[in-house]
Amino acid sequence: MTIICTDDSSDGLIERDIVEAAGKSFAFRPCRMPEELVEASHEAEALLVGLLHVPGDLLRQRPQLKLIVTCSTGWDHIDVAAATELGILVCNAGDYCADEVADHTMLLILAAWRNLTRLTAEVRQGGWNFDCAGAPRPLQGTVLGLIGMGRIGSRVAQRAKAFGLRVLGYDPFIPPEQIQARGVEPVSLASLLAQADIISLHLPSQAGKQPLLTQAAFAQMKPGALLVNVSRADLVDMPAARAALESGQLSGLAFDVWETEPPVTPDPLFNHPQVLITPHAAWYSTASVRALHQRTAEEAVRILSGEPPRFAVNHPHPSRLKIEDSR
């Protein structure tokens, strides 16, 4: 079995140690351009991929490819529909950075709620006025609406409740009773939008569908709501979000993701006093970097040894793999 790692954020050392210790063949071919991925993937039976687009056309030219493991939580850069049709199993890195993202979510909430950027700007400009950013509302008793109650959303809920927030949860994939079992009040999306002072997104990419938060959704929100997004940029209709910010329907944006990463040119919103932007850094820590490379390599070895996957994204049937149970 040949496992090839094309993730250019890695040096390949962790993956090589894990794969070769399992007695399997490994090659490290980091790719930054799509044409490099075409060349690097020729004899791969399993691919450990970075964030380069993996199109269906490429997959159709790889009859020996059985498995793709993406070195990320999101998988919207992979044509999963084509992989499923071809019998190729796709997996992600699971919850390798769930705590980091939950921490970063709370960082954005606290910084935006307390107007941290305005306060620090005041000091840097030589001022020392505690009321330069206006008086923030108390966080205690504020309503936080979590759209997405998976691994990360559940961890955010735990942290938020420690700050005294009332937490509402909506998830199109998780039954209300499971949300309630996680200590969160389950509500419909419409109810969440109407009640929440802070809305935080924790869902996967819409993958070409209409954004979850459109102009109509912003109109349903409680006036002055804060919107936090550490998930995927395509969940939000950005022209509608800009309009909601200017009208006051939104009091602010706190985002770790953007429409194009990195942006081709700086967006005017980056300098907006009610906008807080971080450069897709929520996942990042000393522990998460190692866990990312370790988990993806271990997942590939486990599956190619005939064991069921831990972090399957799809369930192709028939599959090119022979494993005990892909579900």
Say which of 280, 302, 310, 320 is annotated catalytic: 280
* 280 labelled catalytic: yes
Let me know if residue 45 belongs to a domain. yes
Domains: count for the chain: 2
Let me know if residue 130 belongs to a domain. yes
Say which of 39, 43, 259, 261 is annotated catalytic: 261
Say which of 16, 62, 182, 232 is annotated catalytic: 232
Residues 259 and 174 in one domain: yes
Let me know if residue 201 belongs to a domain. yes
Q: Say whether 278 sits in a helix, a strand or coil.
A: coil
Strands 25-31, 2-7: pairing kind = parallel
Residues 265 and 121 in one domain: yes
Enclosing domain of residue 212:
98-277
Let me know if residue 325 belongs to a domain. no
Task: Please list, in sequence order, all residues whose beta carbon lies within 8 angstroms of the beta carbon of residue 38, skipping any fewer than 6 positions away.
Answer: 58
Let me know if residue 321 belongs to a domain. no
Residues 105 and 65 in one domain: no
Let me know if residue 292 belongs to a domain. yes
Residues 268 and 132 in one domain: yes
Residues 21 and 105 in one domain: no
Cis peptide before 223 (omega within 30 of 0): no
Residues 194 and 102 in one domain: yes
Question: pTM of the predicted model, to two decimals?
Answer: 0.90
pLDDT in tens, the chain (327 residues): 699 999 999 999 999 999 999 999 999 999 999 999 999 999 999 999 999 999 999 999 999 999 999 999 889 899 999 999 999 999 999 889 999 999 999 999 999 999 999 999 999 999 999 999 999 999 999 999 999 999 999 999 999 999 999 999 999 999 999 999 999 999 999 999 999 999 999 999 877 789 999 999 999 999 999 999 999 999 999 999 999 999 999 999 999 999 999 899 999 999 999 999 999 999 999 999 999 999 999 999 999 999 999 999 999 989 999 765 444
* 261 labelled catalytic: yes
Query: What burial letters (b/e) apply to 247-282, b meaning 16+ CB within 10 Å?
Result: eebbbbbbbbbbeeeeeeeebebeebebbbbbebeb
